[in-house]
């Protein structure tokens, strides 16, 4: 039990991370109600296994890993359907389409929804949540290079779909080592 967080603190810290868990869950399963169920399940699991969490380590990464594994195991049981194909569900927005100034965001969300699930996940973890590539790789159980490649492919596809910029024909080689843990968060 040593190192396990005090339960009052943990309750507070979990509450603070609920918005992030909801957003990540929605990017995975694409349906707001199912995403909330997934978050609730994650909170219960996290609470029950809190003794295995070391205070001071990355709580968000720990929770995201639980959420992700719960999602994958539930999906295997067919509880959560995947909605990638219709291109409208993932990263569902609460904003109304009629609201001016939000059209570009809605277009973005639609384009995002058409990406393969593993690319959406990688882009959310690295691009939206600011996890280091190394941390995202640990959370997804894959090599760092795999995460980098998924993020790059996701960005390129989005840029292409949204006409953000033409792909540089030669390509630009970027040394990702310049990305540091300090920039995460």
Partner 1 sequence: MSKEGEGIEAGNSAGQRDPLQQKGETEVDACAAKNGPKEKPHVVLPREAQGRIGQHLRRVYGEILSEPLPDKFSLLLESLAKTERSE
Burial group, residue 98, by CB count within 10 angstroms (0-12, 13-18, 19+): exposed
Distance CA 57, CA 77 (A): 31
Q: How far is the CB of 59 from partner 1 (least distance, A)?
A: 7
Q: Which of 47, 81, 82, 116 binds partner 1 (CB under 8 A)?
A: 47
Q: How far is the CB of 81 from partner 1 (least distance, A)?
A: 20
Q: How far is the CB of 27 from partner 1 (least distance, A)?
A: 8
Specify whether the CB–CB gap between 19 and 44 falls below 8 A.
no
Q: Which of 29, 118, 155, 182 binds partner 1 (CB under 8 A)?
A: 155
Q: Which of 91, 115, 119, 121 binds partner 1 (CB under 8 A)?
A: 91
Q: Which residues contact 108 (CB under 8 A, 6 or more apart)?
A: 158, 162
By CB under 8 A, tell whether 97 contacts partner 1: no
Q: Which is nearer to partner 1, 48 or 76 (CB)?
A: 48
By CB under 8 A, tell whether 128 contacts partner 1: yes
By CB under 8 A, tell whether 7 contacts partner 1: yes
Q: Which is nearer to partner 1, 49 or 82 (CB)?
A: 49
End-to-end CA distance of the chain: 28
Instruction: Give 184's DSSP letter.
Output: -
Chain center to CA of 160: 22
């Amino acid at each position: 039990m040593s190192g396990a967080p005090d339960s009052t603190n943990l309750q507070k810290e979990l509450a603070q991370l609920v918005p992030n868990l909801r957003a990540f869950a929605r990017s995975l399963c694409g349906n707001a109600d199912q995403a909330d169920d997934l978050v609730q399940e994650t909170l219960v699991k996290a609470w029950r296994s809190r003794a295995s969490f070391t205070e001071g380590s990355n709580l968000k990464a720990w929770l995201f890993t639980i959420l992700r594994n719960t999602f994958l195991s539930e999906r295997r049981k067919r509880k959560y359907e995947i909605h990638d194909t219709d291109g409208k569900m993932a990263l569902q927005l609460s904003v109304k389409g009629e609201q001016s100034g939000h059209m570009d965001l809605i277009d973005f969300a639609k384009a995002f929804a058409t990406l393969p699930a593993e690319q959406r996940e990688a882009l959310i973890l690295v691009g939206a949540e600011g996890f280091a590539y190394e941390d995202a790789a640990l959370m997804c159980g894959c090599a760092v290079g795999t995460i980098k490649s998924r993020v790059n492919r996701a960005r390129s596809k989005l840029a292409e779909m949204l006409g953000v910029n033409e792909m540089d024909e030669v390509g630009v080689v970027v040394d990702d080592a310049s990305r540091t843990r300090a920039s995460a968060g």
